[in-house]
Structure 1
Amino acid sequence: MRWPQVFFWTLSAGVFLLMQSCAAQSHLVEGELQTVTKEQLQYYLYYPENYFSSDTERFGLLLFLHGGGESGLPFEEVKKYNPPKLLQEGKQFPFLVLAPHNPHEKKWWNIQAVMQLLDSVTAENRVDKNRIYLTGLSRGGSAAWQLATQYPNRFAAMAVVCGMAPLPYAHWIDQKMPIWVFHGDEDDNINVEESDAMVEKLKEMNYDVRYTRYKGVGHNAWDRAYTTDSLYTWFAEQKRIN
């Protein structure tokens, strides 16, 4: 396993607004106002052991988005849970793992910044663009659903753990992308009905979706989901069909 040092990524995005004169004037004035927003993301990037033994082989990449519990806390908290924790304990993955940090305690993930980070890491490493996988839990699970709806042509497979689901936009998700959903039926933070309804809708539309609904489990469904070895085997078997 190789964990590089902490990396930083800053997003600068321009937003253009159309300006016009007051209604009392008899002519129209048009212009553009550019507003620049910046987002700094720290992240960990894991490389498989055999990554550096070849100069040509390309690898898959798993993008992991943590939940609200780590948001706004010191960056090192990311390594204490879920896939990053497994890596710290010595687990080997056959693909790269990209684990950014949401620096805001009470803000959603900035998915535009996440995608620009993903694009940069993909371009600078030997990543197979047809084997980019997506997963997230709780607030990160909600962000994973967002990414799947707004960037439907990017991911080879997705696993969502106890995340709020954008049911009205289910049809925006690429029907060729396999999905695995995990949720506990005693979740008091994000009701299991979020996943129930989303999975039912996806199945009605003939999506390839699996559902693991844990009986007697609360919001911490991630403890079981991310220690399910078959999840990572399943990821590694997926390749995007263009």
Structure 2
Amino acid sequence: MPKTIPSLLLLMSVFLLQACAAQSHLIQDELETVTKEDLKYYLYYPEDYFSSESESFGLLLFLHGGGESGRAVEEIKETGPPKLLVEGKQFPFLILAPQNPHEKKWWNTQAVMQLLDSVVDHNRVDKKRIYLTGLSRGGSAAWELATQYPDTFAALAVVCGMAPLPYAHWIDKKMPIWVFHGEQDEVIDVEESDKMVEKLKEMGYDVRYTRYKGVGHNAWDRAYTTDSLYTWMAKQKRIN
């Protein structure tokens, strides 16, 4: 046994020398990065907006699903609130509907927030009445926005989106939430919403849950034609 000690000491010395050499190449630096994204979008103004020069309005940010990503911007109008607008429905608030330019990528949520901030700054928008909704891939992005920017939104509605369960506690506890999902969803399992809603309720959040029997991944067809969703949204206002 004593004969192995010099070898052990040699190995330790080599390790320490290598560690010191590695640290000598560890250089601290800093670089400012900027998020850039070409976002096409639609912006809807309620009729009353142009009859008053002083009144502020709420705004609904709508994020579409993967099927409308990276395609002609007109395809945004095939689902959700934009589809209802084409059919003639009127809303009491502005609606901002950007398009994800990448067919196979997630939403760039930082770019979406930059767009939202710009629209809010250049229009008569009540910052205490900004609402958020999204479906499928857009629903997942809506959850992400709610966790990353908890001081922004007055209400959240998510339709069949993947949910960031480990970060549920990051969401503003004062913001009411409404979740929709189809029980037969084969794209994003309904358990994503089940577990998220359960977790939020355990923590005392104000959560509504509509779980459609016999409905697959197209839960948005029923969710966004629920008139009470919009009356519920319009009643919400951030406390701080």
Q: Give yes or no for TM over 0.5.
A: yes
State the TM-score, normalized to the length of structure 2.
0.89
Note the alpha carbon deviations across 1:116-166, whole angstroms, 9 max, x for none: 100000000000000000000000000000000010010000000000000
In structure 2, do the counterparts of structure 1 residues 53 and 139 end up closer, same or farther at CA, with 3 Å as the change threshold? same
Residue aligning to 2:6: none
**Structure showing the higher strand proportion among its residues:** 1
Residue aligning to 1:17: none
Matched letter for residue 230 of structure 1: S
What is the alpha-carbon distance in structure 2 between the residues aligned to residue 193 and residue 25 of structure 1?
Answer: 47
What is the alpha-carbon distance in structure 2 between the residues aligned to residue 47 and residue 79 of structure 1?
Answer: 15
State the TM-score, normalized to the length of structure 1.
0.88
Deviation at 1:34, TM superposition (A): 4.7
In structure 2, do the counterparts of structure 1 residues 131 and 24 end up closer, same or farther at CA, with 3 Å as the change threshold? closer
Matched, 1:219 2:240: no
Q: Does the residue aligned with 1:39 lie in a helix, a strand or coil? A: coil
Q: Does the residue aligned with 2:42 lie in a helix, a strand or coil? A: strand
In structure 2, do the counterparts of structure 1 residues 33 and 83 end up closer, same or farther at CA, with 3 Å as the change threshold? same
The one of 197, 205, 208 aligned to 2:206:
208
Matched letter for residue 107 of structure 2: W
Q: How many residues align?
A: 221
The one of 216, 232, 238 aligned to 2:230:
232
What is the alpha-carbon distance in structure 1 between the residues aligned to residue 85 and residue 36 of structure 2?
Answer: 30
Q: Does the residue aligned with 1:87 lie in a helix, a strand or coil? A: helix
Residue aligning to 2:158: 160
**5 Å matches for 1:36-47?**
36-47=34-45
Deviation at 1:29, TM superposition (A): 4.3
In structure 2, do the counterparts of structure 1 residues 59 and 106 end up closer, same or farther at CA, with 3 Å as the change threshold? same
The one of 193, 196, 202 aligned to 1:195:
193
In structure 2, do the counterparts of structure 1 residues 212 and 28 end up closer, same or farther at CA, with 3 Å as the change threshold? closer
**Structure showing the higher helix proportion among its residues:** 2
Matched, 1:145 2:152: no
What is the alpha-carbon distance in structure 1 between the residues aligned to residue 23 and residue 169 of structure 2?
Answer: 45
Deviating 4+ runs (over 3 angstroms): 22-37
Residue aligning to 1:180: 178
The one of 152, 167, 170 aligned to 1:169:
167
Greater mean deviation of Cα atoms: 120-129 or 32-41 = 32-41
The one of 77, 80, 87 aligned to 1:79:
77
What is the alpha-carbon distance in structure 1 between the residues aligned to residue 169 and residue 178 of structure 2?
Answer: 16
Q: Does the residue aligned with 1:41 lie in a helix, a strand or coil? A: coil
Structure 2 gaps of 5+ residues are 1-19
Residue aligning to 1:5: none
**5 Å matches for 1:11-90?**
23=21, 26=24, 29-90=27-88
Deviation at 1:25, TM superposition (A): 7.8
Matched letter for residue 132 of structure 2: L
Greater mean deviation of Cα atoms: 63-72 or 75-84 = 75-84
Deviation at 1:23, TM superposition (A): 3.8
In structure 2, do the counterparts of structure 1 residues 194 and 33 end up closer, same or farther at CA, with 3 Å as the change threshold? same
Structure 1 gaps of 5+ residues are 1-21
What is the alpha-carbon distance in structure 2 between the residues aligned to residue 130 and residue 181 of structure 1?
Answer: 21
Contact 2:62–2:132 (8 Å) recurs in 1: yes
Residue aligning to 1:15: none
Note the alpha carbon deviations across 1:61-116, whole angstroms, 9 max, x for none: 00000000001111110012211010011100000000000000110000000001
In structure 2, do the counterparts of structure 1 residues 189 and 130 end up closer, same or farther at CA, with 3 Å as the change threshold? same
Percent identity at matched positions?
82
